[in-house]
Amino acid sequence: MTLIHQALLFESPEQFLAAALPFIVEGVDRGDTVLAVTSTDNTRLLREQLSGAADEVTFLEPAGWFDSPGRTLDAHHRRIDALATESAFLRVIGEPVWAGRDDLETSEWGRYESVVNIALADSRAWVVCGYDRSSLASAIVEDARRTHPRLAVGTASEISADFTDPSSYYASRDTPLTPYPTTGVEWIPVHPDLAPLRQFIADHATRLGVVADRIDDYILAVNEIATNVLRHGGGKGEVRIWATDRRVVCEVTDTGTATGNFLGFLRAGPHSERGHGLWIARQICDLMEMRTGSSGTTVRLHMRRSF
């Protein structure tokens, strides 16, 4: 048995419980690892209905679990790797966080929901993603039908007629990047000696508002992408950094063309010679955008600002 990925579209607490409660109880009875990453109200309902069985469920805050697409994927992998037996499953009933997201964040989280079908395809995982139709924008709910192969309806499961092949969905999100600003942008070329680049990031990321305890992470992420420029991107590139209202953005460009789909979303195996840097950078940063083609490759690394 491999990945099951369902969308639970509900409009009332009763509809939510009708699907979520049997899913959790069955998992507890089987000895699966069960996570509930739901809204405050739905968490309270689950605890009340589960009674003593709630002690067998790990309840997590959605804001922490759905912190960034890369980190959430890695969290799934780590939980799956830690399963106690070969017959156990990771079961997750979650409600992705959509409130307060801007257009870029909403787009990238939609991409994440689609990529889950590939990234966890061979994993012993059953992931049910809750969408409250009474509060969410209709576009988000409709998108859930495109990113989940099946819909949870009570204890039943239906095929989503609108499900879109992840490769096609991923490509549809590869719209042109917004132009970088005409002012307030600092830049530096990529040279084989990356020490000046690391100092450049440290100086400007601090000035632009990246919190102190994330500066080293940001330097590491940029260093990984710049290393890819030297190894696979023709050896020459440029790095730009600027701030938006919400995030600090570091853009790394080169003249090379990257190959493959879902770049940075798929965990590289221990014997793989490529892919580790993009995987690391996507986990470290709050968002990562990547575009590649005949004219070159651009990677944008986003970190939240502290002000």
Same domain, yes or no: 143 and 76: yes
Same domain, yes or no: 118 and 232: no
Q: Which of 254, 198, 260 is nearest to 224 (CA)?
A: 198
Same domain, yes or no: 87 and 220: no
Structure confidence at residue 1 (pLDDT) = 62
Q: Which CATH number does the domain housing residue 30 bear?
A: 3.40.50.300
197 inside domain:
yes
- Neighbour tally for 271: CB within 10 Å: 5
Same domain, yes or no: 44 and 89: yes
Domain enclosing residue 101, as ranges: 4-172
Same domain, yes or no: 113 and 234: no
Same domain, yes or no: 18 and 88: yes
180 inside domain:
no
177 inside domain:
no
Strands (DSSP E) along the chain, which ranges?
4-10, 33-37, 58-59, 90-94, 125-132, 150-153, 156-159, 186-190, 237-243, 247-254, 287-293, 296-304
Same domain, yes or no: 122 and 206: no
Separation between Cα atoms, residue 123 and residue 77, nearest integer Å: 8
Separation between Cα atoms, residue 280 and residue 299, nearest integer Å: 13
Number of domains in the chain: 2
pLDDT tens digits for range 5-60: 999 999 999 999 999 999 999 999 999 999 999 999 999 999 999 989 999 999 99
Chain centroid to CA 236: 29
Chain centroid to CA 18: 28
Residue 291, SS3 per DSSP: strand
Chain centroid to CA 226: 22
Q: Which of 287, 307, 42 is nearest to 299 (CA)?
A: 287
- 123 in Cβ contact with 186 (< 8 Å): no
Q: Among 120, 146, 172, identify where a domain stops.
A: 172
Q: Could you tell me the pTM of the whole model?
A: 0.94
Same domain, yes or no: 45 and 144: yes
Q: Which CATH number does the domain housing residue 216 bear?
A: 3.30.565.10
Structure confidence at residue 273 (pLDDT) = 73
Each residue's pLDDT expressed in tens, for the chain with a length of 307 residues = 689 999 999 999 999 999 999 999 999 999 999 999 999 999 999 999 998 999 999 999 999 999 999 999 999 999 999 998 889 999 999 999 999 999 999 999 999 999 999 999 999 999 999 999 999 999 999 999 999 999 998 888 899 999 999 999 999 999 999 999 999 999 999 999 999 999 999 999 999 999 999 999 999 999 999 999 998 877 889 999 999 999 999 999 999 988 888 999 999 888 777 789 999 999 999 999 999 998 899 999 999 998 7
